[in-house]
């Protein structure tokens, strides 16, 4: 490849992970270039040379987040044999991940940039897209449950996916308020308590 020129003296991926942590804790607006560069152990010109801009760095950091922090939670949908167990495992892993003491609480995709201003419009749109993808993944798993006969033919997979996705979003805020894993599991239990009704004769 291109190995011309002076080689980079820092690990690009390791620095990206540190940037992700800063964005995770402070959000897009709250994280300054100074904060980021300090945490990454580099100076701002190196940051711009390697990643382009604050916006580009955030997009790369969220993508990294999705690939590193996401799978543990979202693979639950494919690992569990039934839709019910898939949702329950998905929410349980969410509760654990969101309350881990050695990481920022809650989800970067959910909390990273909720207020779209002039500078972060692209950021907000990207996060919204990722949240929509998550909603779609839930819906597809539920539709599979319908196709496999686990759920009734008139089961509203879209509405149910909206419900479970919304519960997960709420858990991010609950985690930011300092909720323990046990407290988050109370929410999981509440959400799963809806299963019988949703999967049963809800149309009555």
- Applying CB under 7 A, which residues contact DNA? 2-10, 31-35, 42-46, 48-50, 53-55
Q: Which of 134, 150, 131 is CA-nearest to residue 80?
A: 150
Name residues contacting a second copy, limited to 90-129 (CB under 8 A): 110-111, 114-115, 117, 128
Q: Which of 12, 172, 47, 190 is nearest to 98 (CA)?
A: 172
CA distance 73 to 85: 13
Spatial distance between the Cα atoms of 165 and 170, rounded to a whole number of angstroms? 9
Question: Residue 2 touches which of DNA, a second copy, none (CB < 5 to 8 A by kind)?
Answer: DNA
Nearer to a second copy, 97 or 167 (CB): 167
Selected from 26, 84, 93, 96, the binder of a second copy by CB under 8 A is: 26
- Compare residues 50 and 185 and give the one whose CB is closer to DNA: 50
How many residues touch a second copy under the rule CB under 8 A: the total is: 48
Position among 18, 27, 88, 90 found at the interface with a second copy (CB under 8 A): 27
C-alpha distances (whole Å) from 82 to each of 10, 174, 181, 187 are: 45, 28, 24, 21
Examine residue 180 and tell whether it contacts a second copy (CB under 8 A).
no
Neighbours of 24 (CB within 10 A): 22
Q: What's the closest the beta carbon of residue 190 comes to a second copy, in angstroms? A: 3
Eight-class DSSP state of 7? P
Q: 3-class secondary structure for 96-130?
A: HHHCCCCCCCCCHHHHCCCCCCCCCHHHHHHHHHH
Report H helices in the chain. Answer: 12-30, 33-40, 44-51, 54-68, 70-74, 76-79, 83-98, 108-111, 121-147, 157-176, 181-193, 195-199
Decide: is 190 part of the binding site for a second copy (CB under 8 A). yes
Which CB, 55 or 156, lies closer to DNA? Answer: 55
| Site mask for a second copy (CB under 8 A), range 144-163, x = bound | ------------x-xxx-xx
Question: Which listed option, DNA, a second copy, none, makes contact with residue 54 (CB within 5 to 8 Å by class)?
Answer: DNA
Q: Which does 94 bind (CB under 5 to 8 A by kind): a second copy, DNA, none?
A: none
The one of DNA, a second copy, none whose footprint includes residue 68, by CB under 5 to 8 A per kind, is none
């Amino acid at each position: 490849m291109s190995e011309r020129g002076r080689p980079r003296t820092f690990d690009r991926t390791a620095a990206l992970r540190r940037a992700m942590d800063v964005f995770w804790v402070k959000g897009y607006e709250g994280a300054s270039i100074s904060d980021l560069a300090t945490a990454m152990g580099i100076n701002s010109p190196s940051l711009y040379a390697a990643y382009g801009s604050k916006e580009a760095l955030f997009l790369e950091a969220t993508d990294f987040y999705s690939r590193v922090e996401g799978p543990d939670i979202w693979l639950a949908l494919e690992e569990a044999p039934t839709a019910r167990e898939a949702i329950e495992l998905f929410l349980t892993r969410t509760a654990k991940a969101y309350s881990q003491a050695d990481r920022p609480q809650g989800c970067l995709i959910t909390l990273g940039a909720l207020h779209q201003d002039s500078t972060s419009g692209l950021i907000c749109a990207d996060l919204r897209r990722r949240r929509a993808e998550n909603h779609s993944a839930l819906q597809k798993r539920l539709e599979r449950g319908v196709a496999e006969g686990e759920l009734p033919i008139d089961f509203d997979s879209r509405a149910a996916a909206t419900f479970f996705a919304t519960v997960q979003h709420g858990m991010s805020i609950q985690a930011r308020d300092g909720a323990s894993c046990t407290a988050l599991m109370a929410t999981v239990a509440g959400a799963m308590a809806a299963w019988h009704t949703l999967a049963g004769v809800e149309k009555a």
